[in-house]
């Protein structure tokens, strides 16, 4: 009898746990604040607060240029938070009053467009893969699938090579390394579709005179988790040996100045945790090996991120030094920003090295790729500048896609002029 009750309890408890696990996290009345930081004390306070409590989530880290931070705050913490801001004299503004209402807008788009693949809603990994299968079949004469590797949870990380002829300069696009940056895979898939189907002469030139290696979703585990459990998930999903916190910031995990100069955190609970060692994440180990395997044919690497509307060149580890071809990198970035600026949307893109315009960040794709000899290597932070942040409404997917296409055409045109697309 006793044994039965024990068993019953066990069943109830474990089912309670699984039902909780399978629930999707909600963000009702979670707000995102923009903080104006004017001294070190204020910065220390906010950083400590965010490190110590899960009730805070940094959406945008502090940078010396804007001197602003974006922080999402749990509604149960808001009173205390506002009191602290007052005590420390930190001026602020509400960017997003209720994160859940933005998530609801995304969900509504799914029912409006009846869960069919497209660019008026955000697609799941399964939908992206089914679409990719169709594309590979339809354009089998100019496309080829490649497999980057296998994720921690055992998913296949897939990519598509598009090549119309031999001897083209190569361009790598890495997208959705950060799980919650959904606009990146939406844009990467649209871009693939344009390269293959556009009849615009300029796009045809773009498609046919470059070899494209595009990975629409690199952080597959995190991406699935962000769809199914927690919209704000950024990292990978590999558990830590030292903590109950899960995941590593994959864009801190490449072997480039790994963990130096405070460019990443050694706290497994941090959003910018660098991992137990470089390449601790199978996704990053695999991507680095894939890039090495083709690097002799590759002239340009673009890592798609959101948000902030900025093109970031190396270096991330220091603002004291700059790449040898920094002037060229800035000229090419300017071409992108200027081209986007000519569109009717009026989006403004900034540019500069990571450490000089943002903050010190190490172990990122574009720095590592640069060190491997890919001399045109950028992180592109897409829309927006914080009004919607990571939860960019589906209505802005297509405008972002058009901006990106226009920007990349100009970027590669400038690279061509400067001789960066010649055979290596
Ligand atoms: O911090 C990052 O990883 C990127 N920003 S994001 O908001 N998308 O997380 C910027 C990466 C900059 N690149 C380098 N550190 N090289
Ligand atoms: Zn190392
Ligand atoms: Zn990112």
> So what's the pLDDT on residue 114?
85
pLDDT band at 12 (very low <50, low <70, confident <90, very high): very low
Nearest partner of 327 among 291, 376, 292, 283, judged by Cα: 376
Q: In what order do the strands lie in the sheet with 211-215?
A: 143-150, 156-162, 211-215, 170-175, 298-306, 376-382, 310-313, 350-353
Q: In what order do the strands lie in the sheet with 56-60?
A: 56-60, 68-73, 31-36, 91-96
Q: Whose CA is nearest to atom 10 of ligand 1?
A: 379
Strand pairing partners for 160? 145, 214
Distance 84 CA to ligand 2 centre (A): 39
Judge contact between 50 and 56, C-beta under 8 A: yes
Percent of the chain at pLDDT above 70?
95
Q: Which atom of ligand 1 is nearest to the CA of 367?
A: 16
Using the mean position of ligand 1's atoms as its centre, give its distance from the Cα of residue 97 in Å: 25
Residue 332 has a pLDDT of: 98
Active site residues: 381
For residues 246, 249, 255, 261, the Cα torsion angle rounded to the nearest 10 degrees is -110
| Nearest CA among 250, 315, 260 for reference residue 285 | 250
Condensed to tens digits (0 to 9), the pLDDT of residues 344-403 reads 999 999 999 999 999 999 999 999 999 999 999 999 999 999 999 999 999 999 999 999
Radius of gyration for the chain, computed over Cα atoms and rounded to the nearest angstrom? 22
Q: What is the pLDDT of residues 168-177, one digit of tens each?
A: 999 999 999 9
pLDDT over threshold 90, residue 424:
no
Find the 362 Cα to ligand 2 centroid distance in Å: 11
Ligand 1 atom with minimal separation from the 308 CA: 7
Find the ligand nearest to 381 CA: 1
- Asked whether the predicted pLDDT for residue 14 surpasses 90, the reply is no
354 touches ligand 1 (CB under 6 Å): yes
CA 361 to chain CA centroid, Å, is: 14
Backbone φ, ψ for residue 196 (5° rounding): -90, -30
Determine the distance separating the centroid of ligand 3 and the alpha carbon of 112, expressed in angstroms.
28
Distance 305 CA to ligand 3 centre (A): 4
Is the CB of 316 inside a 6 Å radius of any atom of ligand 1?
A: yes
Residue 304 has pLDDT above 90, yes or no: yes
> What's residue 115's pLDDT?
80
> Which residue among 176, 250, 379 is best mutated to probe the pocket of ligand 1, counting the most ligand atoms within 8 A of its Cβ?
379
Tell me if 313 CB under 6 Å of ligand 1.
no
| Residue 178, ligand 1, Cβ within 6 A | yes
Q: Which of 297, 349, 303, 357 is nearest to 326 (CA)?
A: 357
pLDDT in tens, 253-267: 999 999 999 999 999
Ligand 1 atom with least separation from CA of 362? 15
pLDDT at 184: 99
Confidence band of 423 (pLDDT split at 50, 70, 90): confident
Ligand 3 centre to CA of 6 (Å) is 47
Mutate which of 301, 312, 315, 333 for ligand 1 pocket (most atoms within 8 A of beta carbon): 312
Residue 251 beta carbon below 6 angstroms from any ligand 1 atom: yes
Judged against a pLDDT cut of 80, whether residue 13 lies above it is answered with: no
Decide: residue 273, CB within 10 A, 0-12 exposed, 13-18 middle, 19+ buried. buried
Among all bound ligands, the one having the nearest atom to the CA of 389 is: 1
Indicate whether residue 364 lines ligand 1 (CB < 6 A): yes
The yes-or-no verdict on residue 341 having pLDDT over 90 is yes
Ligand 1 probe mutation, 58, 72, 251, most atoms within 8 A of CB: 251
Neighbours of ion ligand 2 (CB under 5 A): 255, 258, 278
Please give the pLDDT value at position 18.
43
- Ligand 1, atom 3: nearest CA belongs to which residue? 251
Distance 381 CA to ligand 1 centre (A): 8
Position 252 confidence tier, pLDDT thresholds 50, 70, 90: very high
Q: Is the pLDDT of residue 284 over 80?
A: yes
What average pLDDT does this structure show over 318-325?
Answer: 97
pLDDT of residue 3: 54
Per-residue confidence (pLDDT) for residue 19, from 0 to 100:
44
Task: Collect all residues with Cβ–Cβ distance below 8 Å to 139 and sequence separation of at least 6.
Answer: 162, 196
How high does pLDDT run on average in the chain? 95
Q: How far is the CA of 363 from the centre of ligand 1 (A)?
A: 10
Amino acid 21: pLDDT: 60
Answer whether 303 contacts ligand 1 (Cβ < 6 A): no
Instruction: Tell me if 356 CB under 6 Å of ligand 1.
Output: no
- The fraction of the chain above a pLDDT of 90, given in percent, is 92
pTM of this structure: 0.94
pLDDT band at 1, cuts 50/70/90?
very low
| Ligand 1 contact, 367 CB (< 6 A) | yes
Q: Given a cut of 70, is residue 53 above it in pLDDT? A: yes
Residue 389 CA to residue 398 CA, distance in Å, equals: 16
- Where helices occur in 116-219 by DSSP H, the ranges are 125-138, 182-197, 201-208
Looking at the CA of 177, name the nearest ligand: 3
How many Å separate Cα 296 from the centre of its chain? 25
């Amino acid at each position: 009898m006793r044994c039965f009750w024990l068993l019953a309890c066990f069943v109830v408890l474990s089912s309670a746990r699984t039902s909780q696990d399978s629930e999707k996290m909600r963000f009702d009345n979670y707000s995102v604040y923009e903080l104006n930081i004017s001294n070190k004390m204020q910065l220390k306070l906010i950083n400590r607060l965010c490190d110590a409590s899960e009730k805070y989530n940094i959406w945008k880290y502090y940078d010396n240029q804007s001197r602003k931070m974006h922080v999402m705050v749990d509604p149960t913490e808001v009173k205390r938070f506002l009191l602290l801001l007052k005590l420390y004299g930190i001026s602020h503004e509400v960017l997003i009053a209720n994160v859940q209402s933005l998530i609801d807008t995304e969900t509504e788009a799914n029912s409006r467009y009846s869960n069919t693949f497209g660019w008026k809603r955000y697609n799941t990994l399964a939908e992206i893969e089914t679409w990719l299968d169709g594309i590979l079949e339809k354009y089998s004469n100019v496309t080829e699938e490649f497999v980057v590797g296998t994720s921690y949870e055992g998913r296949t990380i897939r990519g598509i090579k598009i090549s119309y002829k031999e001897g083209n300069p190569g361009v790598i696009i890495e997208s959705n390394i950060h799980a919650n940056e959904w606009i990146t895979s939406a844009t990467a898939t649209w871009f693939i579709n344009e390269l293959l189907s556009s009849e615009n002469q300029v796009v045809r030139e773009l498609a046919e005179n470059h070899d494209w290696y595009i990975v629409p979703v690199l952080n597959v585990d995190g991406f699935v988790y962000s769809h199914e459990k927690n919209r704000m998930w950024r990292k990978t999903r590999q558990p830590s040996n030292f903590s109950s916190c899960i995941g590593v910031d994959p864009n801190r995990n490449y072997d480039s100045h790994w963990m130096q100069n405070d460019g990443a955190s050694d706290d497994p609970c941090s959003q910018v945790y660098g991992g137990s060692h470089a390449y601790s994440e199978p996704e990053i180990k695999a991507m680095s090996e894939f890039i090495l395997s083709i690097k002799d044919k590759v002239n340009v690497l673009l890592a798609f991120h959101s948000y902030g509307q900025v093109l970031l060149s190396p270096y991330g580890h220091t603002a004291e030094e700059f790449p040898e071809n920094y002037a060229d990198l800035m000229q090419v970035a300017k071409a992108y920003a200027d081209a986007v600026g000519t569109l009717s949307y009026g989006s403004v893109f900034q540019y500069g090295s990571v450490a000089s315009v943002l903050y010190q960040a190490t172990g990122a794709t574009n720095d590592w790729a640069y060190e491997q000899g890919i001399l045109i290597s950028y992180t592109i932070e897409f829309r927006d500048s914080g009004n919607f942040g990571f939860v960019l409404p589906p209505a802005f997917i297509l405008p972002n896609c058009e901006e990106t296409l226009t920007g990349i055409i100009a970027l590669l045109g400038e690279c061509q002029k400067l001789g960066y697309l010649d055979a290596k």
